[in-house]
Amino acid sequence: MHVTDAHDVRRVSVLKATSLIEAVIDPAFDAGGNYRLAQAALVLCITDEGYAEIARMRGRDAGLSSAPAKKSLEPMAYLHDIERSPFPLRVEEPEEINCVEALKQAGFVDASISPALNWKDSPTPRELAIVRRITPFGRAALARGR
């Protein structure tokens, strides 16, 4: 995801500095060697630490520290998986909801995510996401990835 807004570039810088994302940020020096604010950044991916922080913030970290780490689902791989799905698409799996959240924030999908609610068939609160469509921006990202 390419970021050019000054506030968003600053946020990307903080997330990169805390190892929550991998990103390339334009150099902060001009040709004369003077300091200036970075004008753009390219976010490459969310790191495993970033996914763990998302899960922690959403209250899903119970028991994760004792469980062996597993490879998390990548948002772009998930976007490819749902590319030909009938929409609206109901998403209930926590790992897939994390992907929907990342894709929504990137502008690749039009989706809504409910807060964690108690369901009749589950003793613990669960979230639900509804993906209404893949946006034109998301379709362009899919085409670039082929």
pTM over 0.75: no
pLDDT value for 118: 75
- Give the integer Cα–Cα distance in Å for 74 and 50: 12
Question: Please, which residues bridge with residue 110 across strands?
Answer: 133
Q: What is the pLDDT of residue 129?
A: 93
Nearest to 4 by CA among 30, 34, 38: 38
Which is more confidently placed, 27 or 101? Answer: 101
Tokens 């926590």 found at: 94
CA 118 – CA 122 distance, rounded (Å): 7
Could you tell me the pLDDT band of residue 87, with boundaries at 50, 70 and 90? Answer: very high
The tens digit of pLDDT for each residue in 12-45 reads 877 888 888 888 887 665 566 555 566 788 888 8
The two tokens of residue 85 are 């799905």
Q: How far apart are CA 36 and CA 62, in angstroms?
A: 43
